A and B are shown apart, each in its own frame.
Chain A
Amino acid sequence: MIKKILSFEEILKGCVKNDNSCKEMMYKSFYGYLMGIILRYTKNVSDSEELVNDSFIKIFKHVANFKSPKNPEELQRSFKGWIAQIASRTAIDKIRSTKAQFYVDDLGEDEHPVTQVSIASELHVNDILNLLNHLPDTQRLVFNLYEIEGFAHEEISKMLNIPESSSRVYLTRSKNKLRTLYQNTMVGSYKKNG
């Protein structure tokens, strides 16, 4: 691992030169990272590897265009940011292609007041992903983009070709649903057990 970090710059250069062993190193070191991102977007595990691979194809194709930051210490972090962006775009494209349009249903519905739900114990990532899997696709996507990727509603609306207001609604709904899901499943089971 240490060796990899030390030679990250070399690996990057090797990838630019289309060196296969460097590509392999790159792939193996960032597979898990990208998979973590992809899994937020998709339920299907077999789909997810395909999406990771698609992302890597794009990464290797455009790796020469990656502009390394002035500060060499930030190189790996900025590269990770760059590939994360590629991965999430790939996932979004895939979702978009399967869903012809994001139709927005009864947005006039009153939004529930945001109630704070505190967690009793640390939630495991698998549990979180499980919770996410219960969300409708669009809600899940908006939640991902806003809360985790940090996009603004304006950007999301452009990305998904929906009104900004819809993005807000989806976000609120997804959050509320997550809270209820959490309280109904996780907390309930913990209470029963403990």
Chain B
Amino acid sequence: MDKELIEHIATQLQQHEEQYVPGAWERFSEKKDKRSRFVLWPMWVAAALLLVVGGTFLIFNSQNHKSDLAAIKSKKIDQKEVEDKRIPEVPNSNVAPKTALNLPIAKNNQPENRAIQATTLTVNRHNTNPIIKSIHNTLANTLPPISLSSSSNKKFEIKGETKQEKTFKKPTFEDLLARDSRANELKGTTKAPINSKWEPGIYVAPAMGNDNKVNMNYGFSLSYNVADNLSISSGIAYSSLSSTSNPSTQIGAASDAVASSVPNSSPINSYSSNSRSLESVNASVRGINIPLELKYNISKKFYTGVGVSALAILNNKQDNNYLVSTGRNITVANTAGVAEQKMLIVTERVSETQAQSLRVADKYIGFYNFSLGYKQKISKKTDFAIEPFLRLPMKTFSNDNLNLTNGGLRLKIDF
């Protein structure tokens, strides 16, 4: 046992290993997380804030551009049927005095002139409203319970509702099919050996704008891991957007009161007055979207992304929907052979496609993209990600203040 002390100390120490202290790893990983979060979060928040502030600045800056409405070619919805059916049902009891309507009678009914009037008569909108009201009143007073004005309006509302429901439901089913076929299609094609730093993926993204219509986006993405938690991604996507604008906030909305004589077969004479107001503007844009995004992994499964994207417009359609209320004075000979005068109000919805020449000249729209994602491994190399996102346009699109802001859910498969 005779061993020199120093030698012994050296060998003892060299061989010595401590016991693992339970909880050490937890402390270690916790500390590491904290450290990286502290360092990177402020930068991340700053970048996001910068984008948001810059974006809103641009949006508000470019909101002042506005010009007159387009020249329109009108196409009528089959609302006439309703009107025609209603006429015989009205009981011939009372006659509304003709003089109660202080409406101008215009002989001109041509669309070109209408367009011009549309712009010049915008100021008169407020003036015409009382007139319409008075029509309603006289009708309510003079006509028995089945007041035409109210019943035709009701009928009309119901029609509108059912129409909306249809447009909402229809795409989702198609989208499901499209999503499946798309996923299957692309599964086979992307199987090239790739460096672990590059991460290609495909996605479908149903998105919804302010018109509650679901639009589908399909895309291919490629991301590059810059650091452990940070990656840059780009790609290419087919995307469609749709939007509607609210009439009440429209300053430039056209509303005009055009009185016109409508030829009618049986009545002796008839007068009608037109009150036209822009109800809504529907726009849909389709194009190729090229995003550039910065992604930060908050944890193993969650990540956030901030980026910009450019949408090259392939197809752009804009429909203006007008609500046309027509008050008509019709004189009919009743069974007793006495001429009676009746007052009818007919409301029609007219949809007009915006002329090609007056559509937006912009070929590109810029967007700010914000997203939050949840990633789940489904196999060794494949990740499935669900990513709610929000797209804010850099400036307002078109003259009608269309807000193309839209959000949706991106379903993504990374390889």
Contacts and interface: CB of A to CB of B under 8 A. Distances in A.
A116 B7 CA distance: 11
Contacts of B4: 116-119
A119 to B, nearest CB: 5
A163 B93 CA distance: 123
A53 B28 contact: yes
A28 B16 contact: no
Interface in B372-410: none
Contacts of A31: 18, 20-21, 24-25
A178 interface: yes
B31 A182 contact: no
Given A118-B3, A119-B8, A123-B12, A20 B24 contact: no
22 contacts: A24-B25, A24-B29, A27-B24, A28-B24, A28-B25, A31-B21, A31-B24, A31-B25, A36-B13, A36-B16, A36-B17, A39-B18, A49-B21, A52-B24, A56-B28, A57-B32, A117-B5, A118-B2, A122-B8, A123-B12, A131-B9, A175-B6
Interface in A29-58: 31-33, 35-36, 39-40, 49, 52-53, 56-57
Interface string B10-41: 10111011111100110111011000000000
Q: What's the interface size class on A, roughly? A: 35 or more
Nearest to A124: B12
A119 B17 contact: no
B3 A119 contact: yes
Interface string A168-193: 00000001001100100000000000
A71 interface: no
Given A28-B25, A117-B5, 5 more contacts: A53-B27, A53-B31, A119-B5, A122-B1, A178-B5
B365 to A, nearest CB: 38
A65 interface: no
B380 to A, nearest CB: 12
B28 to A, nearest CB: 5
Interface string A76-101: 00000000000000000000000000
B126 interface: no
B300 interface: yes
A148 interface: yes
Contact of B13 (A53, A117, A148, A179): A148
A77 to B, nearest CB: 13
Interface of chain A: mostly helix, strand, loop or mixed: helix
Contact of B9 (A36, A118, A178): A178
Interface string A138-179: 000000000110000000000000000000000000010011
Contact of A178 (B3, B6, B25, B32): B6
A12 B268 CA distance: 98
A32 B17 contact: yes
A27 B1 CA distance: 36
Q: What's the interface size class on B, roughly? A: 20 to 34
Contacts of A27: 24-25, 28
B5 A17 contact: no
Contact of B1 (A20, A52, A121, A147): A121
Nearest to B11: A148
Contacts of A35: 17-18, 21
Contacts of B10: 147-148
Contacts of A56: 28
Given A49-B27, A53-B28, A119-B3, A36 B8 contact: no
Q: Quick one: which of A27, A40, A119 has the most chain B CB within 10 A?
A: A119
B228 interface: yes
Contacts of A175: 6
Interface string A100-122: 00000000000000001111111
Nearest to A35: B18
B111 to A, nearest CB: 67
A125 B16 contact: yes
Contacts of B12: 123, 125, 128
A182 B32 CA distance: 41
A38 to B, nearest CB: 9
B227 to A, nearest CB: 11
A32 B18 contact: yes
A7 interface: no
Nearest to B26: A24
Nearest to B225: A18
A57 B66 CA distance: 59
Contacts of A131: 9
A3 to B, nearest CB: 16
Contacts of A122: 1, 8
B196 interface: yes
Nearest to A18: B228
Can you list the 9 inter-chain pairs with the closest CB atoms, starting with the nearest? A35-B18, A32-B18, A118-B2, A117-B5, A32-B17, A36-B16, A147-B10, A36-B17, A125-B16
